[in-house]
A = this chain, B = another copy of it.
Amino acid sequence: MTTPFVHPVNVTWGDCDPARIAYTARMPYFALDAINGWWEAHLDGDGWFQMEIDRNVGTPFVKLEMEFHSPVTPRHTLLCETYPVRLGNKSITFAVKGRQNDVLCFDGLFTCVFIIADQFKSQNVPAELRAMIEPLLREA
């Protein structure tokens, strides 16, 4: 059994709107930061930047969906549990669950496709990535 990967986000004043909670459009940012952090944690420190430039692998998003259950505030660290839930031939789907103070604030699913970065052309999941990802797949 793998320990779940959790990406911490320090939510601050600048993330909040006049309702004194984090602005809705910040949530996809936080979730994408968490997915990038997942890659960094599992790919020798490489996030999307290094994947694109050093490995020539891009993973553009084709779909995202999020539900918001409880406001996010600067009162507590936002802990984003992040893990892959589906690996297709050419795509990967991540779940991200954002919690503060043990309360689920949002959850979401995010699907990316693999491309050859410098050609912006679809490709199968590279073998070494598949080998790394498959053992980490969990139910959403």
Query: Residues of A at under 8 Å CB distance from B?
Result: 10, 12-14, 16-21, 23-25, 27-29, 32-33, 36-37, 47-50, 52-53, 58, 60-68, 71, 73-75, 117, 120
The dominant DSSP class at the A interface is mixed
Smallest CB separation, A66 vs chain B (Å):
6
Give A90 to B61 CA distance when docked, in angstroms: 31
Smallest CB separation, A48 vs chain B (Å):
4
- Copies of this protein, total: 4
In contact, A65 and B68 (Cβ under 8 angstroms)? no
Give A119 to B18 CA distance when docked, in angstroms: 14
Instruction: Provide 13 A-B residue pairs closer than 8 Å at the C-beta atoms, listed in order of the A residue.
Output: A12-B49, A13-B47, A13-B49, A14-B25, A14-B48, A16-B18, A17-B17, A18-B18, A19-B58, A24-B61, A25-B32, A28-B28, A50-B75
